[in-house]
């Protein structure tokens, strides 16, 4: 056995620096599940539990069963049904806010090379200062910029969602409630846009020159 063999073995046993820390991976998949859950509640309330058609449906069904209910009565029931789904939306909301706080704390405590801010700055430096392999550097910077925008959208959704949840507490700001609701509503479409671009991007990257990025997001990958 050569004299460098034990040293090589020691190096092999050093903990590997991963591309994504286990905490980031946990956040990523939990966040994806919770956002999907939240979106499903919105989908349910805007389709099968949409108040007006549900009220008409209930009225017709009761009439068939021999009970004549007024539109007001069936609308009240339809409203109660969608409200119970909004309650679930708020539970997903709390989970989302908790995960967001976890993500922000994680950013602070992560190893320097794993910090998002550091990766973003590096991407900017490669593109604007080092100016080598510009195509690649521009792509890297664009991907990171999209993530940065997504984090801002997520913060907006959490803040507006909390405002709507605790509207009694924010009663003095009642006048801006409709605007807050519109922002919350519109932000959903931007988040949907991010998800579509993200999934397409990951799919293309996996097929082209970044094979294995999805498994990196599962097993951590190598730095
Ligand atoms: C609601 C769904 C999803 C959201 C909101 C989301 C969000 C994100 C965010 C914010 C990042 C950047 C993490 C960081 O570096 O700070 C990221 C990275 C990543 N996501 Fe997702 N994700 C979603 C679903 C998925 C799915 C379904 C896949 C796999 C099929 C996936 C694969 C990846 C991969 C591979 C990366 C790392 C890519 C890179 O280094 O640029 N994501 N995701
Ligand atoms: C990805 C995250 C989220 C999405 C896509 C989303 C989407 C939506 C949409 C589309 C509405 C309907 C707005 C309207 O009727 O005009 C809504 C309502 C609401 N959301 Fe969210 N939301 C998210 C996160 C949150 C969070 C984090 C909270 C709070 C913790 C929250 C609390 C609420 C509340 C209280 C309502 C009002 C429900 C009602 O009309 O009774 N949402 N959300």
* Residues in Cβ contact with 33 at an 8 Å cutoff, skipping those fewer than 6 apart: none
- Nearest alpha carbon, ligand 1 atom 27: 199
Element (H, E) at 57: helix 51-64
Domain positions in the chain are 20-110, 112-223
Phi, psi of 119 (to 5 degrees): -65, -40
pTM of the model: 0.91
Residue list, ligand 1 pocket, CB within 6 Å? 28, 31-32, 35-36, 116, 143, 147, 150, 195, 198-199, 202, 213-214, 217
Task: State both tokens at 131.
Answer: 């100016």
| 18 beta partners | 222
What does the pLDDT look like over 23-35, one tens digit per residue?
999 999 999 999 9
The residue count for the chain? 223
At 1 the pLDDT is 47
* Burial zone of 74 (CB within 10 Å; 0-12 exposed, 13-18 middle, 19+ buried): buried
- Nearest alpha carbon, ligand 1 atom 22: 32
Confidence of residue 158 (pLDDT cuts 50, 70, 90): very high
Q: How far is the C-alpha of 215 from the C-alpha of 100, rounded, in Å? A: 23
Task: State both tokens at 190.
Answer: 């931007």
């Amino acid at each position: 056995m050569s004299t460098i063999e034990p040293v090589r073995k020691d190096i092999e046993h050093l903990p590997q620096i991963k591309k994504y820390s286990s905490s980031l991976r946990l956040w990523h998949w939990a966040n994806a599940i919770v956002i999907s859950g939240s979106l499903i509640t919105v989908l349910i309330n805007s389709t099968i539990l949409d108040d007006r058609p549900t009220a008409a449906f209930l009225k017709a069904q009761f009439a068939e069963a021999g009970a004549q209910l007024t539109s007001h009565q069936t609308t009240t029931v339809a409203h109660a049904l969608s409200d119970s789904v909004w309650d679930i939306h708020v539970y997903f909301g709390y989970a989302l806010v908790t995960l967001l706080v976890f993500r922000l704390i994680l950013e602070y405590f992560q190893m320097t090379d794993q910090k998002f801010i550091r990766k973003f700055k590096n991407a900017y430096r490669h593109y604007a200062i080092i100016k080598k392999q510009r195509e690649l550097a521009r792509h890297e910077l664009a991907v990171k910029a999209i993530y940065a925008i997504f984090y801002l959208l997520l913060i907006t959704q959490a803040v507006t969602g909390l405002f709507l949840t605790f509207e009694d507490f924010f009663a003095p700001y009642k006048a801006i409630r409709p605007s807050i609701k519109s922002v919350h509503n519109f932000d959903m479409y931007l988040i949907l846009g991010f998800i579509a671009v993200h999934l397409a991007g990951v799919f293309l990257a996996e097929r082209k020159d970044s094979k294995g990025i999805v498994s990196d997001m599962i097993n951590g990958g190598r730095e």
